Amino acid sequence: MYPVRPLDLAHLLAEPLLLGRGLGAWDTGHDAFLALRLLEGENGLPVDPGLPRPPVARVLARTLAALRMAGVPPERLDALTAAAAFPLDRDRLRALGLLYRRFVEAVEGRLADPATVLRAASERLDDAAWLHDAQVFVVASLELDPLERDFLAALSRAVRVRVLEGENAPLLRAGSFETWAAAHGIAPVSWAETPLAPIAPPPAPPALLRLRTRLFSPPEGPPLRGGSVELLTAPGEAAEVRSIVRRLLREAARGVPFEEMGVILPRPDAYAALFTDLLERIEVPFRLHPSLPLRTGRAARSLLLLLRCRGLPRAAVMEFLSFAPVAYGGILGEGAVPTVASWEEASRHAGVTAGVERWRSGLASYARTKRREVEREESDVRRAAAGRRAAEAEALGRVVEKLAATLDDLSGEAPWPEWSSRLSRAFGRWVGPERDREAVTRVIADVASLGRVAAQAPWDQVENVLEARLEWERLPMDPPVKGGVHVGALDAMAGLPFRVVAIPGLVEGGYPGPIRTDAFLLDAEREALNAGAPPVTKAGPVQRQLSLFDEAPTLHGLPTTQDRLLETRRLFHRAVSQATEHLILSYPRADPRSGRERLPSLFFVSAASTLEGRPLDMAALAPHLTEDDVRSLDLLEAVDSSERDRARLLRGGAEAALAVAAGAPFFKGSLLAADARWRPQLSAYDGLVELDPDLARDLDPVAAGRTLSATRLRTYADCGFQYLLQSLLRLEPVEEPEDRMGLDPMERGSVFHEAAERFLRERRERGELPVRDTPALGARLVEIAEESLARLVEGSPPRHRLLWDMERARLHDLLAKWLAREAASARGTPAHFEVGFGIPRDPESDEPHSREPLEIDLGDGRVLRVSGKIDRIDTGLDGSLIVRDYKTGRAPKDDGALFRGGRQLQIPFYVKAASMLFPGRRVSEAFLDYVDGGRLVGFDPLLATGEDFVALLRDLVAAMGSGLFIQDAAACRFCDFTRVCGPQPLVAARQARKRRDPRASRLFRLKETR
């Protein structure tokens, strides 16, 4: 006994004949490829030239294949064209006729496509001696193309063919295979009369029997509730899967072997992974029948990701390298340890965006920087880390070079067999062993056979064919598991009876999904073509839309939208009929993303109405639905730990939460964080650092004997949490090189600082001070700024041209206005720039400098040591000093506040540092110079020596020492750590609660110091 599909049997019969004629093998990529080639030629098809060709070709391929499988000769399309009423339709049909004729010419006599195979098989039937005494039994509910039906009809004339009896619903009969078979003399036979009697399905219980015989018919009869059919719903798809699996486990407990349970998936793309993940997790054996496209397998996906690396965009390359099972031994050399996670970081630091040159220069320069660090670093740990980073960048460079060579090999134009061997080389090099590897290797080998259709092909055609094949072919089944639950798509599971069947995902818009009209050949035109070959039963009036209980039209040659909708009904009926004891139909009642309510599909409602014996609307359906309530769930019935924990929490409240947390570290962390963050007391989750006294001493810069930079102290005054992340934990924001489009505010500020300093220093050296605003000097200032800009972007990815040009123009304008203000100012003459204290001397600078930090007696026997760099010191008309600190960005409201709670701390330090660096000279003025708006915010130098300033410092340092590094929402706007802290309003809401803690309220009061 041989189980075969009609097309497989046709292949067995036709192969000797076709091989004798020298025809090439046909595979699934051929029609899409042919359609693509035909679209490229002159054809007159009214298609928007802007539409990408491959998807259009795929739709066209379906139309051409359907015409061919319906046995429509090209001349019939000519007649249809001539009869078209409107010029637009005529143009479309004429073009389609031309394309179809060319398609047929390309196939006939060259390739053994399914139409050729089926015709040849019909011719060969009398010669197949091995078939002469055979009996053929056809499993009911086949869905066949017209030429397949013709082949079966021919087969029935040569040998005894009978259809195994099954129940069918009256309204599905008209268009069904059984009706067609009866009309062609293929008689039905009961299982009992065949050698298949021992495996005949048992009689179905009443509810299942009614579904088999009355589904999609006007409902009638008494309600049949409970027992063999369950109508299930759940809040979302994951909960739906859990509820079904719970029922399978109950069935197993009642003695049904897993092997006799089937989960039939109308939407395998959405549900297959949910089922297999859960079953695997709870260690229930299962067998996933080929249901998903081959492209979802790891080897196939790796190959597609490899092809997406063309042009070497950083994100695509990193995705490929981190996903694909690459055997790096062959690429980096035996024994090399690939560090893919570090490559991501290296490529980002190297500023790579795309292109082999950018990869080369970026990685080489990054590796050089790290090698220099190795030479300079004093700490062994840091030296080793820098060496490691350099080696990682160099290894990544080697990998990318090889990747670029592979992609170069896959470009240009070549004969198809040559493409097959190049692809095979690339696949072999980059994709290691995976369970779908063999299937992908076969697809690649098949590419060579396209040499019969065209001698040469450019790479993009090869890629299209490959994608079409990987989409079409199914992911192979895992090695069979003994005694596992069967899971698979409708067609993959067809014909297999199970004691228990579950069909999930019966939601409106999900299954049946939308069925669209063919854009190349409309329904009315298909019907007209079909009319040339009269249907097997009398056709009813033309229907535009089927309602739930409409009678099915007859079986057509070329399927219309109606036919395809009917086919979907028959497939659902077939799946329902596969259950012999228990059927579970289910749908998710809410959208997992939006939370919006979803309705059951028409099929689900139809099944419920059939069982109830009357049409049901949503309100009438509700009492018949079952849903698992986690609150009342028996804990022993929870299918996994997350469900069990949820049930415990919902029932046991806070006490249960603590019990769950005891065994779940992640949940415990989140529970503690949520609780602590909303309590009025400060906690570790708000930036309160509580360490043992020895470690705590390190937090206090005075006790630790550390020199603190003025800028860092100001950061602390802005937001203690930012200081903790940046200065103590040394976190840095990660910026994708691709994200740098224009010039960000920080970069603009640093370019301005550098340009202003160089320009003024140059004027000073040339004796051109005080500065004048002349066209020549303006041009020189712009020239210096351009040099700074060039240095800034050197070796980094190109910026967005438009944004970059806008930012440059903005910088030029800023400089021009600044120069005009400088020239007009009568305050004093620029004298010194970038004057450092408490930091190493810049060897290229001859400005005044102090290696020693500023020391400030805090008055409690402790001394704070501060370092920094003063932007500029001018000499006033009376010889006194004027201190300036440049600021870019908007100036704050000039409300007379001086300290602003420490947020302007730099300026009093600079006043004190200037006095230290220039003993005997008075600091007469100090400013924050907001260059954007041209505003000076003054600071009274005397305040730097006052007790208020010292008291403020004392309190800030004490707050640091007591571990207060708390968040301040007022500083979030320009902070890089918003991803760590969350949205500003959330930080502000929590901050408002924390103010009730005396430690927090003290610190916030301090920040209000004016």
Q: Minimum distance from CB of 761 to ligand SF4 (Å)?
A: 35
977 near ligand SF4, rule: CB under 6 A:
yes
Q: Minimum distance from CB of 724 to ligand SF4 (Å)?
A: 8
771 near ligand SF4, rule: CB under 6 A:
no
Stretch that binds ligand SF4, among 131-139, 276-284, 649-657, 719-727 (CB under 6 A): 719-727
Q: Minimum distance from CB of 698 to ligand SF4 (Å)?
A: 20
Q: Minimum distance from CB of 886 to ligand SF4 (Å)?
A: 22
Name the residue nearer to ligand SF4 (CB basis): 543 or 978.
978
Name the residue nearer to ligand SF4 (CB basis): 61 or 969.
969
* Cα distances (Å, whole numbers) of residue 607 to 207, 392, 621, 785: 10, 61, 11, 75
Name the residue nearer to ligand SF4 (CB basis): 953 or 972.
972
978 near ligand SF4, rule: CB under 6 A:
yes
Q: Which of 284, 710, 971, 1000 binds ligand SF4 (CB under 6 A)?
A: 971
Taking the alpha carbons at both ends of the chain, their separation in whole angstroms is 95
Name the residue nearer to ligand SF4 (CB basis): 353 or 726.
726
1000 near ligand SF4, rule: CB under 6 A:
no
Distance CA 866, CA 855 (A): 6
Stretch that binds ligand SF4, among 244-252, 357-365, 481-489, 969-977 (CB under 6 A): 969-977
Name the residue nearer to ligand SF4 (CB basis): 173 or 679.
679
* Tokens standing for residue 420: 């097959």
* Tokens standing for residue 21: 């004629």
Stretch that binds ligand SF4, among 98-106, 109-117, 323-331, 968-976 (CB under 6 A): 968-976
DSSP strand pairing (863-876 vs 828-837): antiparallel
987 near ligand SF4, rule: CB under 6 A:
yes
Stretch that binds ligand SF4, among 496-504, 665-673, 893-901, 963-971 (CB under 6 A): 963-971
972 near ligand SF4, rule: CB under 6 A:
yes
* Tokens standing for residue 922: 């008075």
Q: Minimum distance from CB of 996 to ligand SF4 (Å)?
A: 18
Contacts with ligand SF4 in 171-210 (CB under 6 A)? none
C-alpha dihedral sign at 142, 144, 147, 149? positive
Q: Minimum distance from CB of 971 to ligand SF4 (Å)?
A: 4
Q: Minimum distance from CB of 726 to ligand SF4 (Å)?
A: 8
Q: 3-state class of 215 per DSSP?
A: coil
Name the residue nearer to ligand SF4 (CB basis): 177 or 723.
723
Stretch that binds ligand SF4, among 67-75, 265-273, 870-878, 971-979 (CB under 6 A): 971-979
Q: Are the CB atoms for 500 and 260 separated by under 8 Å? A: yes
The rounded radius of gyration (Å) of the Cα atoms in the chain is 39
Name the residue nearer to ligand SF4 (CB basis): 603 or 965.
965
Name the residue nearer to ligand SF4 (CB basis): 420 or 967.
967
DSSP letter at 434 equals -
945-976: burial string, b at 16+ Cβ within 10 Å, e else = eeeebbebbbbbbbbbbbbbbbbbbbbbeebe
Q: Are the CB atoms for 398 and 331 separated by under 8 Å? A: yes
722 near ligand SF4, rule: CB under 6 A:
yes
Name the residue nearer to ligand SF4 (CB basis): 343 or 716.
716
Distance CA 215, CA 574 (A): 11
Name the residue nearer to ligand SF4 (CB basis): 898 or 975.
975
* Cα distances (Å, whole numbers) of residue 546 to 390, 540, 543, 549: 67, 13, 7, 8
Q: Are the CB atoms for 604 and 231 separated by under 8 Å? A: yes
Distance CA 1008, CA 1010 (A): 6
Q: How many residues bind ligand SF4 (CB under 6 A)?
A: 12
Q: Which of 967, 1000, 1006, 1009 binds ligand SF4 (CB under 6 A)?
A: 967
Name the residue nearer to ligand SF4 (CB basis): 186 or 905.
905
* DSSP H helical ranges for 719-826: 720-723, 745-765, 775-793, 801-824
716 near ligand SF4, rule: CB under 6 A:
no
Q: How many residues does the chain have?
A: 1010
Q: Which of 719, 751, 784, 1000 binds ligand SF4 (CB under 6 A)?
A: 719
Name the residue nearer to ligand SF4 (CB basis): 521 or 975.
975
682 near ligand SF4, rule: CB under 6 A:
no
Stretch that binds ligand SF4, among 250-258, 382-390, 716-724, 930-938 (CB under 6 A): 716-724
Residue corresponding to tokens 């924001």: 733
727 near ligand SF4, rule: CB under 6 A:
no
Query: Which strands sit side by side in the sheet containing 187-189, from one edge to the other?
Result: 135-138, 160-164, 187-189
Name the residue nearer to ligand SF4 (CB basis): 721 or 910.
721
Stretch that binds ligand SF4, among 138-146, 425-433, 537-545, 714-722 (CB under 6 A): 714-722
Distance CA 708, CA 868 (A): 9
Residue 17 host element (H or E) = helix 6-20
Name the residue nearer to ligand SF4 (CB basis): 733 or 938.
733
Taking 3-state DSSP, the helix, strand and coil percentages for the chain, each rounded to the nearest 5, stand at: 55, 10, 35
Stretch that binds ligand SF4, among 24-32, 137-145, 284-292, 964-972 (CB under 6 A): 964-972
Q: Which of 224, 630, 975, 1006 binds ligand SF4 (CB under 6 A)?
A: 975
**What are the φ/ψ torsions at residue 456 (nearest 5 degrees)?**
-115, 160
715 near ligand SF4, rule: CB under 6 A:
no
Stretch that binds ligand SF4, among 80-88, 582-590, 715-723, 931-939 (CB under 6 A): 715-723
Q: Minimum distance from CB of 1000 to ligand SF4 (Å)?
A: 13
Q: Minimum distance from CB of 909 to ligand SF4 (Å)?
A: 22
Residue corresponding to tokens 């004798």: 20
Q: Are the CB atoms for 268 and 291 separated by under 8 Å? A: yes
Distance CA 709, CA 853 (A): 9
Peptide linkage before 830 cis (omega within 30 of 0):
no
Residue 875 host element (H or E) = strand 863-876
503 near ligand SF4, rule: CB under 6 A:
no
- Give the burial class of 379: count Cβ atoms within 10 A of its Cβ; 0-12 exposed, 13-18 middle, 19 or more buried: exposed
Taking the CB of residue 614, how many other CB atoms lie within 10 A of it? Answer: 12
In the chain, the amino acid numbered 895 is: D
Name the residue nearer to ligand SF4 (CB basis): 234 or 987.
987
Q: Minimum distance from CB of 704 to ligand SF4 (Å)?
A: 22
Q: 3-state class of 501 per DSSP?
A: strand
* DSSP H helical ranges for 627-744: 641-663, 665-678, 693-699, 710-718, 720-723
Q: Which of 981, 1000, 1003, 1006 binds ligand SF4 (CB under 6 A)?
A: 981
Q: Minimum distance from CB of 903 to ligand SF4 (Å)?
A: 12
Q: Are the CB atoms for 407 and 423 separated by under 8 Å? A: no
Q: Which of 113, 871, 968, 997 binds ligand SF4 (CB under 6 A)?
A: 968
Q: 3-state class of 22 per DSSP?
A: coil
* DSSP H helical ranges for 297-379: 298-307, 314-323, 329-332, 340-349, 356-376
Q: Quick one: which of 729, 721, 725, 711 has its CA closest to 903?
A: 711
Stretch that binds ligand SF4, among 288-296, 505-513, 902-910, 966-974 (CB under 6 A): 966-974
Q: Minimum distance from CB of 892 to ligand SF4 (Å)?
A: 16
Q: Minimum distance from CB of 977 to ligand SF4 (Å)?
A: 4
Residues lying near ligand SF4 in the complex (CB under 6 A) are found at 719, 721-722, 967-968, 971-972, 975, 977-978, 981, 987
